[in-house]
Amino acid sequence: MQFDKYKKKTFSKDWNNFEKQSKYSSGFAYFLKKTKNFFYKILGFKISLKIIKYNEFKNEEFNSYQIDKDIIIYRNRLANETIKNFLLKFNINSKKTEIINFINQYQKLFYNSPIKDLRSGYGYNEGLILYCTLKKIKPTLVVESGVMKGFSTYIIHHATSNDCKIFCYDINFDNLIFKSNKAQYFNHDITLNHPNFKNHNSFALWDDHTSHLNRLKFSLKHKIKYNIFDDDLGFTNFHSDGWPPIPSLAMLYEIRDKVITKDEVEWICRNKKGKIWLSNFSSDKSINNIKYYHNFPNLFSISGYKNNSCSSFVMTN
């Protein structure tokens, strides 16, 4: 066993890591850490102080990943099975190794993403399912409502053909980092001005925290066959979102199944109380026009990355 010159946390004869000295072992970061500990001991509370360069934050996906070729092949086989079975629920068939090719393409795409801070948007897992789904359904028209930095646009841009029309809507483009040269951008709600969906194989990504019911009605009206609804939180977990898309599809199914039969529901999110008036929409029958509805699978056990959100893939009649 070797002497631990970098004060590693554990010793093991079976594994070793941390080839470099911890960033907290010297310099200004070390000084900050000591200062924080000092104040914690003296004052009894922690001061959280972080100095990060603008745009320096990177999701852990960009600094923790597998590099062993055999494990990657095994992992891709597992992801292939999971995604293939997920798409099969929508009657979308895939050849044996077709999804593996998409996974390999996505892998390169993901690590070259111009957006490395994936907080508040799609992450590795959702992006992978979005990529494979688009590769399979080959849409000719895509609408994306809720663009933010443009990570999901980046995936849509690369997963679709060059002549696929992309329409991106957001009420605030201040955070935009990736701009697709295939896309047209609109700084308003899609209901104000929308593309002509006629004769198109259309797909929509609804990630704008706006009522899923309203977005579903829009989809049904314009015959958008394929839809992904992000933040599809139900009655037990919607408090986790500061601005849930009430009523979400999950909630509408829970109402239909009479899991929730009340007229009003209150909850607390980040110390603020909210209230839902369920009677406003509980008799709506729009979800009956959904042909297939399934939540994205949780890929954590395969990718090692937590899902960023709850997305559902929906095919309308």
Ligand X SMILES: C[S@@+](CC[C@H](N)C(=O)[O-])C[C@H]1O[C@@H](n2cnc3c(N)ncnc32)[C@H](O)[C@@H]1O
Q: Which residues bind ligand X (CB under 6 A)?
A: 120-122, 145-149, 151-152, 169-172, 189, 207-210
Least distance (Å) between residue 115 CB and ligand X: 7
Least distance (Å) between residue 112 CB and ligand X: 16
Of the two residues 110 and 255, which places its CB atom closer to ligand X in the complex?
A: 110
Of the two residues 197 and 229, which places its CB atom closer to ligand X in the complex?
A: 229
CA 163-313-219 angle, to 5 degrees, is 65
Q: How many CA atoms lie within 13 A of 32 on its CB side?
A: 10
Alpha-helical (H) ranges within the chain are 27-43, 69-88, 98-111, 124-137, 151-159, 212-221, 249-256, 300-303
3-state secondary structure of 186: strand
Residue 43: burial class (beta carbons within 10 Å; 0-12, 13-18, 19+) = exposed
Are the beta carbons of 233 and 244 closer than 8 angstroms?
yes
Least distance (Å) between residue 230 CB and ligand X: 7
Of the two residues 42 and 192, which places its CB atom closer to ligand X in the complex?
A: 192
Of the two residues 175 and 282, which places its CB atom closer to ligand X in the complex?
A: 175
Alpha-carbon Rg for the chain in angstroms: 23
Of the two residues 168 and 290, which places its CB atom closer to ligand X in the complex?
A: 168
> Residue written as tokens 């590769």?
135
> Residue written as tokens 């990504």?
205
Least distance (Å) between residue 60 CB and ligand X: 17
Are the beta carbons of 227 and 204 closer than 8 angstroms?
yes
Of the two residues 80 and 303, which places its CB atom closer to ligand X in the complex?
A: 303
How far apart are the C-alpha atoms of 140 and 79, rounded to whole Å?
26
Are the beta carbons of 207 and 144 closer than 8 angstroms?
yes
β strands within 188-300, DSSP E: 202-206, 226-229, 264-269, 272-277, 290-295
Least distance (Å) between residue 148 CB and ligand X: 4
Least distance (Å) between residue 145 CB and ligand X: 5
Of the two residues 84 and 149, which places its CB atom closer to ligand X in the complex?
A: 149
3-state secondary structure of 315: strand
Least distance (Å) between residue 187 CB and ligand X: 9
Q: Which two tokens stand for residue 78?
A: 């597992």
> Residue written as tokens 């704008």?
208
Of the two residues 150 and 234, which places its CB atom closer to ligand X in the complex?
A: 150
Least distance (Å) between residue 150 CB and ligand X: 6
